[in-house]
């Protein structure tokens, strides 16, 4: 399975984030990455993903890739030019940053997007499956 990763899952892991009702987002992220590794699935990362992580956590692209290699998770870098379809998703009422993630995931033929903000992606569910880490 090819899984497009929203940056918030990676960021939650390193920020050790706790969600509502003391939901351990970082624990869910950790378990998700273990499951991906065990199933042999591929995490697809985009330049937009790397930019978002860099702006929040200051991790560079090479550091992120090295982390995934260290934990044994296969990664693939999305092809550039994922702008096709962004406008369509914005017109559906999806925030521009999320619309870019959706466009890239669809263009790169990902099976799903994994995010902690699934409600922000709901309007695109007919085009690509949207999952939270705990539901993967």
Report the share of the chain in percent with pLDDT over 70: 83
Contacts of 35-40 with C-beta under 8 Å, sequence gap 24+, read 35/136, 36/3, 36/73, 36/136, 37/71, 37/72, 37/73, 37/74, 39/1, 40/74
pLDDT in tens, 16-43: 767 666 667 889 999 999 999 999 999 9
Least confident interval from 2-6, 55-59, 65-69, 126-130: 55-59
Q: Which domains does the chain have, with CATH numbers?
A: 2-135 (3.40.50.1010)
Give the span between the Cα atoms of 69 and 57, in whole angstroms.
19
Residue 53 confidence class, pLDDT cut points 50, 70, 90: very high
Name the pairing type of β-strands 42-45 and 129-131.
unpaired
Beta bridge partners of residue 85, listed in sequence order? none
Residue 55's pLDDT is what? 87
């Amino acid at each position: 399975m090819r899984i497009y990763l929203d940056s918030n899952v990676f960021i939650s892991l390193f920020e050790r984030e706790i969600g509502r009702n003391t939901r351990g987002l970082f624990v869910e992220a950790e378990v998700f990455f273990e499951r991906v590794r065990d199933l042999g699935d591929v995490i697809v990362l985009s330049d937009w993903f790397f930019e978002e992580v860099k702006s929040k956590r200051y991790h560079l692209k090479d550091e992120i890739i090295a982390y995934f290699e260290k934990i044994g998770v296969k990664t693939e870098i999305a092809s550039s030019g994922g702008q096709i379809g962004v406008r369509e998703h914005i017109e559906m009422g999806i925030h521009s940053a999320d619309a870019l993630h959706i466009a890239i995931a669809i263009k790169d033929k990902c099976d799903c997007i994994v995010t902690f903000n699934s409600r922000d992606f709901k309007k695109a569910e007919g085009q690509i499956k949207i999952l939270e880490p705990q539901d993967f």
